[in-house]
Structure 1
Amino acid sequence: MNIFMKLILLGVAASVQGFAMAIFLFPHYIPSGGAASVSVLMNYLFKIPFSITLLILNASLLIAAVKWLGKSNALWTIYCVIVTSAIIDILSPFLVEPVSNVFVDLVIGAIIFGVGVGILFRLGASSGGMDILALIISKTRGVPPGRALFFINASVLLLTALLVDWKIIIFAIACQFISTRVLDVIYKLPIPTVITKMYKQIT
């Protein structure tokens, strides 16, 4: 029952994250994080397909997750990556144009994205990519995961901006700033007594 509850909660959180990416961020070509930016950079510099870079990066970070965060975290992360990808694939064909202008969609998308990732982090999972590295740094250094994720992604995004295109990257950094602030709020949010008991049962 505990595993079933965690499957549901992580599935919902991963779906929320995928919804934010597919509906509000990707229609404006705003990268959701450092992993996407690394794939853009590798494709631009070496013509390596996006999928290959993402596969190698996620596989490497998942190996690190097994060592530093445990097998359970790695397995839950794989599950969340699958759910997020599925939601994006399902929703993307229905998007003919962005919901609103880039500034409105950026703020709304970043907030929703931060909520989804925050819940994943709270339950001991992640959405893959640089999220895993942020969790490792948070665990080993005691740094809030949102702050670690922001500096990791901002560094990669800035490098991509210098070499590829600075316009979209500015929006991506703004997205990271908003979403990681929301992430830290969710991560530190006090849980009511009833929810605390449920939380302890599934973690």
Structure 2
Amino acid sequence: MSHIFIKTIIVLTGGILQGIGMGLFLFPHFIPSGGAGGIAVLLNYWFHIHTGLALWLVNSSMLLVAVKYLGKRVAVWTVIGITMTSASIAFFEQTVIIGNRNLLVDFFCGSLLLGTGIGLLMRQSVSNGGVGVIALIVAHKRSISPGQPLFWINCSVFIFTAIVIDWKIILLALGSQWIATRIVNLICQLNFYPSYTLSWRKK
């Protein structure tokens, strides 16, 4: 039970940190946090749907498609993570107002928090949702690394988002992904709580 309790706390914390990074720092500048984030930004831009709700809808629909490849247990934890992320985005978008925003400060703060949140989730073998699950399906069917389809799917979404909203978005999105990925790798390589064996590779 203690393992489940600790895992629950870490998954919720990871979801909250993702939500803060997205809702408080990245999304106000329409910077997508990934493929699903880009779609959420577009839904908000076109239909004025709250990005938290839009992200949850996108992630949930993709997750349902990929449950058979992720496994039910991982899917349940992923739903918990993305629900907490979406709830956090909605909360911070509606309750926290930052005056005199600085794009670079928001960019770096959002990217660091995003990477930290994803890293905590991945250490628990929990997907953060998004187009990553679609990339896994493509990789499975074609017997290739998921990195390749994930890269092209994310880039396609970034480019389309940039065309619709602003071309500088693609540079910011790629930069944010680079920083977040470095943080994810760092967190996944560190040995937190070794007595609980929270290796991100362990199923």
* Range that drifts further, 149-158 or 74-83: 149-158
- 1:17-166 maps to which residues of 2 (within 5 A)? 17-41=18-42, 57-97=58-98, 100-133=101-134, 141=144, 149-166=150-167
How far does residue 49 in structure 1 lie from its aligned partner after superposition?
A: 7.2
Q: Secondary structure at the match of 2:198?
A: helix
Residue matched to 1:199? 198
1:2-59 Cα offsets, whole Å, 9 max, x none, are 2222111101111111111122212323222211323555788xx6775797566434
Structure 1 residues 11 and 151: CA distance shift in structure 2, 3 A: same
Change (3 A) 1:101 1:183: same
Query: Structure 1 residues 60 and 28 mapped into 2: Cα distance closer, same or farther (>3 Å)?
Result: closer
Moved over 4 A (4+): 39-44, 47-56, 134-144, 147-151
- Structure 2: gaps of 5 or more residues: none
Question: What's the TM-score, normalizing by structure 1?
Answer: 0.76
TM-score between the two structures when normalised by the length of structure 2? 0.76
Partner deviation per Cα, 1:72-108 (whole Å, 9 max, x = no partner): 1111111111111222222223332357410121012
Quote the residue 2:186 is aligned against. 185
Counterpart CA distance in 2 for 1:73 and 1:168 is 32
Q: Measured at CA, do residues 133 and 55 of structure 1 come closer, stay the same or move farther in structure 2, by a change above 3 Å? A: same
Q: 1:129 to 1:191 in 2, by over 3 A?
A: same
- Structure 1 unaligned runs (5+)? none
